[in-house]
Amino acid sequence: MKNGTLGRLKRSLDPCELLILDELGYVPFQKQGSELLFHIIADCYERKSVMVTSNLEFGQWNRVFGDNRLTAALVDRLVHHAHILAFTGESYRLRNALSAIQPSSASGLEP
């Protein structure tokens, strides 16, 4: 990594006991970002807790990281000793937004 980016990032994360990666895969990584995240996950492996949220199944992560081997190694480290919680259903944010614009039957008002 250029200019010691990896070392600086590792040092800044060192005091953390839990690393949370929210919405992983929402935006695809460039090669350098994929490699940086892999090194961070590898550094945390069996030493720190890592929590990841994603709307993507593991089989779709190749598109995010752009490298099949790197993705396989990253997923392997994440799922070893993991508790995987899979949720299905509609987005609660969308449901709440839609219910906010629907006329309330309790108000007695007609649209």
pLDDT digits (tens, 9 = 90+) for 17-28: 999 999 999 999
Q: What is the pLDDT along the chain (111 residues), one digit of tens a residue?
A: 567 888 898 899 999 999 999 999 999 999 999 999 999 999 999 999 999 999 999 999 999 999 999 999 999 999 999 999 998 888 888 888 888 887 655 555 554
pLDDT of residue 87: 86
Question: What is the rounded distance in angstroms from the CA atom of residue 65 to the CA atom of residue 18?
Answer: 22
- DSSP E strands, 41-101: 49-52
pLDDT of residue 83: 96
pLDDT of residue 102: 73
Domains of the chain: residue spans and CATH: 2-107 (3.40.50.300)
**Beta carbons of 56 and 64 less than 8 angstroms apart:** yes
User: Which structure tokens are listed for 102?
Assistant: 């629907």
**Beta carbons of 7 and 38 less than 8 angstroms apart:** no
